[in-house]
């Protein structure tokens, strides 16, 4: 884990992806890398696992879609539901780009994604953001939208402890600051 990498805000997520999709002076649009980052931010996978995905990895399982991956970094197997809207997003992207079921969705390197992200973040004036910021954003958003359930996020990310997850998404300093702010009993 890169300690300097920060979690994105939702506004940064939107601005980075939209800027990458449309491009800017001196930088052509890159919808492929924008899509890879969208998947990282919505599936919580590392970019190393995103660039290895194939459409055939997402399997219809009864009334749901599931994805089974072996994480490159940890070697841990992970099986989880892919929301229908994300499955359709991936399917549409593959159709528009003539990507076959067994083909890599993103036949690019992690380094290529990182380089393009750096160009966009430099343009936007963002510091401390890397591809891993999208996974941290995913974790933070899941945490906030599910009643601040750190155990849920720990299980999703397959962290060894809740303390690791708290450090990962940077909530401990926020909670301490909030506790201090909310404890003012002046007479």
Specify the pTM: 0.87
Token representation of residue 37? 């980052």
CA distance 82 to 36: 15
How are beta strands 77-82 and 58-61 bridged, if at all? unpaired
Q: Characterize 102-119 residue by residue with b for buried, 16 or more Cβ atoms within 10 angstroms of its Cβ, and e for exposed.
A: eeebbebebebbeebbeb
Domains of the chain: which residue ranges? 10-181
Q: Is 160 exposed, middle or buried (0-12, 13-18, 19+ CB in 10 A)?
A: exposed
Question: Cβ(54)–Cβ(101) under 8 Å?
Answer: yes
pLDDT (mean) for 24-52: 95
Which pLDDT score, from 0 to 100, does residue 4 have?
75
Residue 148 CA from chain centroid, whole number: 18
Is the pLDDT reported for residue 25 higher than 80? yes
Confidence category of residue 2, pLDDT binned at 50, 70, 90: very low
Is the pLDDT reported for residue 102 higher than 80? yes
- Percent of the chain's residues with pLDDT above 70: 91
98 or 167, higher pLDDT = 98
Q: Which helix (H) or strand (E) is 89 found in, with range?
A: helix 84-96
Token representation of residue 78? 């992970």
Which pLDDT score, from 0 to 100, does residue 144 have?
86
Closest listed residue to residue 41, CA positions, set 133, 123, 116: 133
The domain made up of 10-181 has a fold known as hpI Integrase; Chain A (1.10.443)
Q: Please tell me the least confidently modeled range out of 80-94, 103-117, 169-183.
A: 169-183
Which residue is it, tokens 């809207």?
85
Number of DSSP helices (H) and strands (E) in the chain, helices first: 9, 3
130 or 163, higher pLDDT = 130
* Cβ neighbour number for residue 168 with a 10 Å cutoff: 21
């Amino acid at each position: 884990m890169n300690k300097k990498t920060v979690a994105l805000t939702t506004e940064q997520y939107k601005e980075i992806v939209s800027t990458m999709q449309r491009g800017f002076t001196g930088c052509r649009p890159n919808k492929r890398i924008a899509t890879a980052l969208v998947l990282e931010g919505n599936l919580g996978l590392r970019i190393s696992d995103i660039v290895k995905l194939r459409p055939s990895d997402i399997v219809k399982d009864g009334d749901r879609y599931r994805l089974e991956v072996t994480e490159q970094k940890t070697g841990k197997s992970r099986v989880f539901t892919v929301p229908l809207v994300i499955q359709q997003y991936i399917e549409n992207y593959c159709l528009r780009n003539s990507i076959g079921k067994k083909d890599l969705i993103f036949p690019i390197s992690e380094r290529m994604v990182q380089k393009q992200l750096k160009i966009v973040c430099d343009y936007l004036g963002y510091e401390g953001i890397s591809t891993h910021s999208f996974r941290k954003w995913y974790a933070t958003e899941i945490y906030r939208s599910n009643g601040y359930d750190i155990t849920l996020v720990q299980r999703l990310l397959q962290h060894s402890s809740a303390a690791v997850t708290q450090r990962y998404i940077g909530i401990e300093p926020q909670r301490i600051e909030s506790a201090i702010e909310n404890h003012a009993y002046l007479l």
